[in-house]
Each structure stands twice: as structure tokens, then as C-alpha cells.
Structure 1
Amino acid sequence: MANIFTEAAKSVSTPENLDTPKSSVTAKHKGFEVRRYEACKWVSTRTMSISLEDGMTTGFWKLFKNISGENDISTRHKTIQSIPSETSNVPGAGPNRENTFTVSFYIPLEYQAAPPPLPTKLTNPDVFISDWPEVRVAVKYVALTFDGFANDSVWAAKGRELVEDVEKTDLKDKFVKEYYFTAGYDAPAKLTGRRNEVWFKIED
């Protein structure tokens, strides 16, 4: 598994020439598609918040600061030359209902087999390397329907749409409803034509 990404020529690149996780579309349905992502590594951090938007923002800047100066990794700038930034949302329980958000940046292809030594070099102990196993996800494209930034209500609405679409298919008993992921593909400075996605994990 460690050498899955050693052939750089096979990397998936965007028009901006940024690395993305390797994936393949295994099925297309009305309103969504199913992708299978290969096992890969991300640099991640966790935050607690009632608001998805606040949790994503806090996690994003915590990661960004650590990879762009708050550490002594000579290759730190390479870590942000990839997309998407991904956030998992695990709903909380209790009166405050704070959710647990894990915000992650994909580690570029050339470092997948041997990532920079983030765990021992970071000044912020909340940042860590996470290993994703091979996973299948249902994906809802949401960037094609609006410009600007997605807020809590938009993410929730698109998540509900995806749930409704999946439940109309033979995958209705296979997707994990307890949590979901959001994926953003654009820099914060991009104001229009942004690409955002909602993901639900599909069990094999």
C-alpha cells in the first residue's frame, strides 16, 4: 500500500495542475455518481463547533498556518499544492450538539509513499497524518448550481438532496448516514464558479 502512488506519471491533475486523490467513477445515477478512491494519506486536524462553516474555517486555517510557516519542514509549501480540502462532519449529542469536524488537505502524490515528517516537526500538536483506506463514496456535485461560498444551510440542503437521491437506488441500504464529508476544490480567494461536493461513504 505504501507504494501505490510512486508512479508520478499516473497522478490525477486538475486544470490548475494540482494533484488530487486517485479515483475512478464506478457508477452514475440521477443526481450523483459513485467513486472509488484509492488508499491515500492526508494531513488533518480536528475541531469542535456547532457550525459546519465555523468548523471548516477554523480547521482550514490551522492546517494552512502549519504548512506555510509554523513548522520547520523544508517541503511545507508542497502540501498545499493539491486539492480538495475535505471535511468530515460527525454530528454531536447532548444539549450543545457540538459536531466533530476533521479537516484534511490531500498530501501530494510525490509524498504519498513517504510524507514529510509532519507529526514530529509541527509546532501544533493538533495536526496529524491520517491514512485513508480504499473507500467508495456517493458524490453530489453542488458547485454547478451556485456561485460563491457554501454556508451551513447550503451544505445541509445538498446533503439532504444526496440522501434522497441515494435512497431511490439499490445503494439505499449501503450508504453510511451517521456522518458525511464536504470537499472544496478552490482557493479562498476565488469568489465565483467554485466547485464543492458532498460525499457519503458507501459500504461494499
Structure 2
Amino acid sequence: MFPVTLLLAPLLCPGISAQWGRTPACTGATECFSYLTLCRDTEYESRAYEPSNWVGTQLLPAERRYRAINRLREYFNRKNRPGILIEQTSPTLTMYWNINGVPTEAAVFFYLPRRFLSNPPIPRDELVYLSNSPAQSLFVRSVGSIFFNLKRASQELFEDLLRQRESFMQDRFYLAEYHRPLSLLGRRKEIWFQALGPVRCGSRFGSGQSTA
């Protein structure tokens, strides 16, 4: 079986430049995945993200998500070569297949600090793998902190993107969690769909806002 990786496209809005910033949703972590807001309205936000490295693991058949998360925690806690302790980062990503509007968990990813962009530690667990992503563009919507319907929330964003004639990857999406995995307090989540073409920032959007 081929590993499920982050499929990314190096797509930025032409003519937009600003400082990469720390997301306001990122708390309790040493380092977070930085982005630039390209356009935003009440329905969703279009963002540009910088190049990054992630460590991931697929969910095995009938496996609970917390077991996959534990594999990534062990990688951060020295189960890597050269056996170093890696500082906490944010967000945690869960990839879902989106088949006929039914989300199915496929893989979990932890963000790796920027200092490992060119030389990430090698996993010692054969079920854990590295995933490199170039600069990319995403369509994002914030969702409820604890109690929310993932199927309904992802389908609503999916339909909004279709209605706006956005070009995006339709067979999968990501749930980004800006809190410690399995925690109950301070939870914040977002749904991400990946753009497949240049993001169109029309008159209905404000644009070019950094997260600094």
C-alpha cells in the first residue's frame, strides 16, 4: 500500500506579497504552520502556506485514531534517528477521504519545526513516514470547538466552493486541530480543501492580510 501523503500544489495569488505570520489560533505550541490570508469573507478563507515537512501515519483497518497519534508522539519523543526530542508544534492534521460526501479517516500528520525542513529525523517505526510539501494554497473554514458535525461542515464548505467555481481537490479534505491531540480544553479546528489552480480573489473578498 502506498503511503497517504499531503498532496500539494505550489499556487499563490499573483501580485500578493506580505510577511508570513503565526496563526492566532496557535497556542501552547513552540512552533506553528505559518500562512498568509489571500482572501476572506463570511463563507471561507483562502490562504497561502509556506513550504513545510510533516510526519504522518496511516490509520490501519479498524484502528482508533488515538493509536495513530501515539505513533507520531513516539516519533517526537526520540523514536527517530538520531534519537532527538522534538518540540511541540501545531496544527495536527487528519486527512479524510471525501467519497460521495461521506468522510473517512485515512491518515494523521504532525507538523515538523522549520529547522528540519532540509534534514528531518528519520522515523524508526515503519508505519511512520515523512511528507514534504512545497508552497500551497488552501480553502479554510473554522468549525465548532468540540461538538460539531464533520460530515455536514465539510459538505457545506464543499458546496460553497463549487458554487464559487473554485478549483480544488474534491476527493479529500483535512481537519486541522490547534490544540493538543485528545485534549478537551482550548480546542479550535478548521476544515481545509486544497486549491488546484490560482486562487481568484474577487471583489467579494478582502485580500492580502498576513497572520502576523
TM range (shorter): 0.7 to 0.9
Q: Closer, same or farther in 2 for the Cα pair 1:136/1:43, shift >3 Å? A: same
2:196 aligned to 187, 191, 203, which one? Answer: 203
Secondary structure of 1:162's partner?
Answer: helix
Query: In 1, distance between residues paired with 2:180 and 2:119?
Result: 26
Unmatched segments (≥5 aa) in structure 1 = 1-9
Shift of 1:67: 2.4
Aligned-CA RMSD value: 2.9
Contact 1:92–1:100 (Cα < 8 Å) also in 2: no
Contact 1:149–1:191 (Cα < 8 Å) also in 2: no
Secondary structure of 1:186's partner?
Answer: coil
Residue 22 of structure 2 corresponds to 12
Query: In 2, distance between residues paired with 1:156 and 1:98?
Result: 6
Q: Is 1:77 aligned to 2:86, yes or no?
A: yes
Which runs of structure 2 are paired with 1:4-153 in the superposition (5 Å)?
A: 12=22, 14-49=26-61, 54=64, 56-71=65-80, 73-78=82-87, 81-90=88-97, 99=104, 101-116=106-121, 118-119=122-123, 122=124, 124-142=125-143, 145-146=144-145, 148=146
Query: In 1, distance between residues paired with 2:48 and 2:21?
Result: 15
Residue 3 of structure 1 corresponds to none
More helix by share: 1
Residue 175 of structure 1 corresponds to 168
Shift of 1:69: 4.8
Residue 161 of structure 2 corresponds to 166
Summarize deviations over 1:121-178 as a string: whole Å, max 9, x none. x1x1111111112221111101xx34x366xxx221210121122223241xx02211
Shift of 1:114: 2.0
Query: In 2, distance between residues paired with 1:187 and 1:133?
Result: 25
Query: In 1, distance between residues paired with 2:62 and 2:39?
Result: 34
State the number of aligned residues: 175
